[in-house]
Amino acid sequence: MSSSLTSIYDNIAYALQLHGKAITKLQEQASSGNRVNRASDSPSDAYRIIGLNSQDRSLASYLGRVTELMDSMEMSSSLLSDMASDLADARTVVTQIVGGIYDAEGQKQVANRLNNTLEQLVSLANTKEGNQYLFGGTDTDAAPYRVVREGGKITQVIYEGSHEARSINVAPGLEVETFHVGDDIFRSDDRGDPVFLGETGAKAGTGTSNVRGDVWLTVDHDGTNYRLSIDDGATFVTVPAGGQTNQAVTDSRTGRVLYVDTTGINSTGVEMVRVPGTYDIFGTLISLRDALINERGVPRSELLDFIDRGAAAIEEVRNLVVQTNTSTGSKIAFLNTLKNHLEDTQFNVTDETTRLQQADVAQIAIDLSRREILYQMSLSVAGKLLSTSLLDFVQ
Amino acid sequence: MNDFGIALSGLRAAQTALDIVGNNVANAATEGYHRQRVELSALDSVPIGNVEIGAGVSVSGVTRLIDGLLEAEIRRQQSAHEQTSQELSILTSVESSLGEFTDTDGLNATLDAFFKALQNLAAHPQERVWQNEAISTAQTLAGEFRRLGTLMMGLEEQLLLEAKNTAASINSLVTQIAELNNKIQSIEISGQHANNLRDQRDSLIMSLSKLADTETVERPYGVVDVSIGRLPVVTGSMTMSLEAGLQSDGSLSVYVEGDEVATINVQAGRMGGLLALKNELLAGFESDLDALAKAIVSQVNQYHVQGLGQDGSFQQLIGWAMNGTDLSTTATPVTDGSFFLRLTNTTTGLVERHAIDVNVSAATPDTLDTIAAKIDAIDGVSASVVSSQLQITADLGYTFDFLPAVLSEPTTMNLTAGSPPTVAVSGLYNDSDNQTFTFRAVGGGSVGNGLLRLDVTDADGNIVTAVNIGAGYAAGDTLELDNGIKITLSLGQVNDGDSFEIEAFATADTSGLLAAAGMNVFFSGSGALDMEVCSEIANSPGRIATSLGRDLTDNMAALNMAGVQDEAVESLDGMTPSQYFHRIVADLGMEVSLKQSRQDNIEAMIQNLEQHRSEISAVNVNDEAALLLIYEKMFQAVAKYMSSIQTTMTTMMDLI
């Protein structure tokens, strides 16, 4: 091995550079706490880490949406519980009327109570969470229900929200519907045959009527023929002699039609026609309230029969709300499970990222110490080589 | 008597040897110096009487201790080291600029933030705060791409400048080498040794090899010819100058000065590194980055063009400036197909849909002008091309858009009964192909009565489903098909065979023209350098197309745009945008890591080679000190000998 000045210098420089670079790298790892501070430190690990970082952010994003969705679902569930409770109270008082607890004045009080329940339900159905209405489907920007009033009292509650549900991504490849479509959950869609409650002899026709809820059928006689109306006499349809098995009677206000078998009509009068499976919570309460006020002068026996069936109608719509609440509860439970799964996944992702990226501090300390010793030794050896030469001994 | 001659020769030889030793010691730390050794040889003997007596010593030469092959290998490794160092330096700075694995958000985090904002927008499509967040993150993303694009452009300019400077340095060194060739030749042709000049020249050649890969050929009288990339740049005392510049295809090359065609294949040295960076390494990275930006722009835009935001339909749309009106040269490809313009009469509420065919493969292909003419032919809108920009303007009382939503009524009706029902269409079509569905009545009668149904077939005549509209169906109730389309029939009469058609659109543009022309797009730009959020969107967050449905309350368009994050894109080698960027980072990291390893290996190799060279050519002070003692003693001895001769001569003279 040559001990020329040049070779000594080159060796010193090389050793110092080598150990210096290693020390710098160890210092960087120590100060950042990371083994991988750039992709070139370990390309394969860097590829994995950068993917895990993306996955972590994605999971955080999903968790945020799941949490927000759960909040709105829980709010919806709470509202639905309130609605179910209000409807249960309404059913109780209606049942009490049938049981004869209330006199005429009491009935009026019950009518007011039903009216208040109606107002309350409309208010609940128009609830916002954050800036979004909960029961308007995709149309979360506007109140889904609009009321029509006469004399200050609600006569109609019209759904003006969307009929589509909004889906959002809550996990990779998983979409969940968010806000309820009010028209789907507050209105029954299991149409049955109309039930005629009066004594006029009218029966359901063979066609499928499209009236909903309760309809008041007026049967009168013009001296020649019977006439039928379901819009409180605004329009009439004449029953031909002998009647028809499937006569259409149209409500001029809504365009909806009731098919009536008029062959058995034998008297005039006003009778309630119920269409089971078509009730909505608002229409039911409106009908019951109006029935209790009884501006049509329906005979008491018919009225009680109607009110009795009205209790069943309330139960029907209450069940709708309860079912929706149950399914909402299931959805919340599912989301909770999903949230736990996402959190577990996120934990694993973070754990693996840490394992890949984080530096072993103890090892760094050992390596740093070793390098420092080597660095000092290089300097020491160089000093010894440079300090002694033949010239020192030549006289 | 040859006594004094012998003494004189000894004194001269010792003196010369001491000079050589002194020169070696003086140059012990001189970079590139090769130690020299005096060659002494005994003079021919002279017969004196019966014996042959030596005539002394002469300096037969001064040898420069050098291993040519070793020097050549060191030059080769230095060349490789410089190239690797150059490449590593630039690639490391590019890696740092990506900002990954640092506390600041790199492109990866920015990309994730953008798609997260789109997901949030899909959850709150009508809220301003989320619209603003989507725009803000999009602008940040575009800004990040532009930053990297600008960085790459700056690096390219820097590389070109450095290449030019390096070529100038090469030319300067080449000139100096040629001059030294001349001097060395003139000295050695006379029989002398020009060792120091050779050292100077070898040092220059070493410097030259760091700039480019060199080959040398020894010629007589110490002349060395030098080639770079097999092109002779030094031939004796003649030189050839080089130049660096950009070719017509944008590549960086080195060529003979004044002749761009005569390019040289420089494969090592700093110049080799600069060429590799500009033409391969950085070009590849830049191409990948541009591909990623372009894919994000086109994928997001393809969903955005068809949607609408809260602000609703358009009074006017102006596309971006295109490269002329030829549709075959658009940055986003345009193919044969159609796009559908939906026109709304704001007074009557009537909505019509008009198809505009696009044909780019015909003998006379469509141009932007012909497309404008087709649109202009529609009553209610006018269209033109101004400064290569397609402009569509709705007439007074009209608005337009490209929503794929089903129209509120069937497109064609063939209901022959006296009082047919009204058919209302709604819903969100969720299938993947555009279709025309025919609803044909089977049986006749009144809606809601008897046996009456509608058979639904697609454009190929395949039965999709059958829906009951007789007994059991309440007129006015909604019938929903599996593909999301909903119909409602009012009361009325239907004859057997009556039919109506509904057009359902998965996409309102099968040609790609809307995105190519910049109509209702979210992003503009064709690559990293010019990617931007369209100003119309940035200035009006309500313009972000979140909905595909008629009532503009759904979030389908926003969901589709957010879904781009997980879409495999053909132009990205079948990867999602995030995966593609991860690969870019990892590939760059791998390149840097390999270069670093290579540099370390070459440095170790150079270290070994230089150690070996030191053993041959470097000055060992101890060795020289020993020689100094020897030659000093020799000089003293010879001087003593001369003194003895003088004494003997004096004694002889005294005897006489």
How does pLDDT run across B317-327, given as a tens digit for each residue? Answer: 999 988 777 78
Residue among B101, B473, B628 minimizing CB distance to A36: B101
Residue A3 predicted with pLDDT over 70: no
How confident is residue B46, by pLDDT bands cut at 50, 70 and 90? confident
Give chain A positions within 8 Å (CB) of B475.
Answer: 208, 210, 257
CB pairs under 8 A between A and B: 213
Q: What is the pLDDT of residue A382?
A: 77
For an interface test with B, give the residue of A28, A38, A189 to mutate (most B CBs within 10 A).
A38
Q: Where are the alpha helices (DSSP H) in chain A?
A: 5-32, 43-98, 104-125, 182-185, 281-293, 300-357, 361-387
Give the number of other Cβ atoms within 10 Å of residue A176's Cβ.
19
Residue A295 predicted with pLDDT over 80: no
Q: What is the pLDDT of residues B81-91, one digit of tens each?
A: 999 999 999 99
Flag if A36 and B473 touch (Cβ within 8 Å): no
Q: Do residues A117 and A86 lie in contact, with contact meaning Cβ atoms separated by under 8 Å?
A: yes
Q: What is the pLDDT of residues A169-194, one digit of tens each?
A: 999 889 999 889 999 989 988 899 99
Q: Do residues B553 and A162 lie in contact, with contact meaning Cβ atoms separated by under 8 Å?
A: yes
Quote the minimal CA–CA distance from B555 to chain A in Å: 7
Strand pairing category for B36-42 and B57-64:
antiparallel
Quote the minimal CA–CA distance from B582 to chain A in Å: 6
Residue B271 predicted with pLDDT over 90: yes
Q: Is B335 exposed, middle or buried (0-12, 13-18, 19+ CB in 10 A)?
A: middle
Residue among B108, B477, B619 minimizing CB distance to A50: B108
Quote the minimal CA–CA distance from A259 to chain B in Å: 10
Q: What is the pLDDT of residue A62?
A: 96
Q: What is the pLDDT of residue B603?
A: 94
Q: Do residues A258 and A185 lie in contact, with contact meaning Cβ atoms separated by under 8 Å?
A: no
Flag if A140 and B96 touch (Cβ within 8 Å): no
Q: What is the pLDDT of residue A2?
A: 55
Apex A91 CA angle, B476 and A307, nearest 5: 70
Residue A298 predicted with pLDDT over 80: no
Q: Is A128 on the interface with B (CB under 8 A)?
A: no
Q: Is A256 on the interface with B (CB under 8 A)?
A: yes
Contacts of B208 (CB under 8 A, 6+ apart): B170, B173, B174, B177, B214, B226, B228
Quote the minimal CA–CA distance from A69 to chain B in Å: 9
Q: What is the pLDDT of residue B281?
A: 94
Q: Do residues A298 and A338 lie in contact, with contact meaning Cβ atoms separated by under 8 Å?
A: no
Quote the minimal CA–CA distance from A105 to chain B in Å: 39
Residue B217 predicted with pLDDT over 90: yes
DSSP B510-549: SS-HHHHHTTT-SEE-SSSTT-EE-HHHHH-GGGS--B-S
Residue B47 predicted with pLDDT over 90: no
Q: What is the pLDDT of residue A11?
A: 82
Q: Is B467 exposed, middle or buried (0-12, 13-18, 19+ CB in 10 A)?
A: middle
Quote the minimal CA–CA distance from B367 to chain A in Å: 40
Closest CA relative to residue A71, chosen from A343, A335, A342: A335
Q: What is the pLDDT of residue A304?
A: 79
Structure tokens at B567: 């879409």
Residue B105 predicted with pLDDT over 80: no
Give the number of other Cβ atoms within 10 Å of residue B475's Cβ.
23
What does the alpha-carbon distance between residue B148 and residue B159 come to, in Å, rounded to a whole number?
16
Residue among A40, A44, A141 minimizing CB distance to B95: A40
How confident is residue B52, by pLDDT bands cut at 50, 70 and 90? confident
Q: ipTM higher than 0.95?
A: no
Rounded to whole angstroms, what are the CA distances from B123 to A170, A178, A331, B129, B562?
10, 8, 17, 12, 11
Flag if B626 and A34 touch (Cβ within 8 Å): no
How confident is residue B1, by pLDDT bands cut at 50, 70 and 90? low
The interface residues of chain B toward chain A in range 601-630, judged by CB-CB distance below 8 A, are 603, 607, 610-611, 614-615, 618-622, 625-626, 628-629
Q: Is B364 exposed, middle or buried (0-12, 13-18, 19+ CB in 10 A)?
A: exposed
Residue B645 predicted with pLDDT over 90: no
Structure tokens at B383: 């269209």
Average pLDDT, chain B: 93
The interface residues of chain A toward chain B in range 195-214, judged by CB-CB distance below 8 A, are 206-210
Q: What is the pLDDT of residues A12-64, one digit of tens each?
A: 888 888 888 899 999 989 988 889 999 999 999 999 999 999 999 999 999 99
For an interface test with B, give the residue of A129, A164, A170, A251 to mutate (most B CBs within 10 A).
A164
Residue among B127, B566, B589 minimizing CB distance to A46: B589
Give chain B positions within 8 Å (CB) of A61.
Answer: 112, 116, 119-120
The interface residues of chain B toward chain A in range 13-72, judged by CB-CB distance below 8 A, are 28-29
Flag if A53 and B109 touch (Cβ within 8 Å): yes
Q: What is the pLDDT of residues A194-224, one digit of tens each?
A: 999 888 999 999 999 999 988 889 999 999 9
Give chain A positions within 8 Å (CB) of B603.
Answer: 14
Residue among A38, A139, A178 minimizing CB distance to B95: A38
Q: What is the pLDDT of residue A395?
A: 64
**Averaged pLDDT, B527-554:** 95
Q: Is A37 on the interface with B (CB under 8 A)?
A: yes
Give chain A positions within 8 Å (CB) of B620.
Answer: 2-4
Q: What is the pLDDT of residues B348-360, one digit of tens each?
A: 999 999 999 999 9
Rounded to whole angstroms, what are the CA distances from A192 to A189, B472, B487?
9, 9, 22
**What letter would DSSP give residue B281?**
I
Amino acid at B194: A
Structure tokens at A204: 């359901």
Quick one: three-class SS letters along B13-35? HHHHHHHHHHHHHHCCCCCCCCC
Quote the minimal CA–CA distance from B296 to chain A in Å: 17
Quote the minimal CA–CA distance from A395 to chain B in Å: 10
Q: Is B427 on the interface with A (CB under 8 A)?
A: yes
Flag if A206 and B449 touch (Cβ within 8 Å): yes
Distance of CA A357 to the CA centre of its chain: 39
Give chain A positions within 8 Å (CB) of B593.
Answer: 40-43
**Averaged pLDDT, B354-374:** 93
Least confident of A186-190, B153-157, B204-208, B251-255: A186-190
**Averaged pLDDT, A250-255:** 91
What does the alpha-carbon distance between residue B395 and residue B382 come to, in Å, rounded to a whole number?
7
Flag if B475 and A210 touch (Cβ within 8 Å): yes
Q: Is B172 on the interface with A (CB under 8 A)?
A: no
Residue among B551, B620, B625 minimizing CB distance to A2: B620
Q: What is the pLDDT of residue A98?
A: 79
Q: What is the pLDDT of residue B296?
A: 97
What does the alpha-carbon distance between residue A46 and residue A50 come to, in Å, rounded to a whole number?
6
Q: Is A395 on the interface with B (CB under 8 A)?
A: no
* Residue carrying the six token digits 């029907």: A316
Q: What is the pLDDT of residue B102?
A: 76
Q: What is the pLDDT of residue B295?
A: 96
List, in sequence order, every beta strand (DSSP E) within B85-223: 214-218
How confident is residue A1, by pLDDT bands cut at 50, 70 and 90? low
Q: Is B124 on the interface with A (CB under 8 A)?
A: yes
Give chain B positions within 8 Å (CB) of A10.
Answer: 607, 610-611, 614
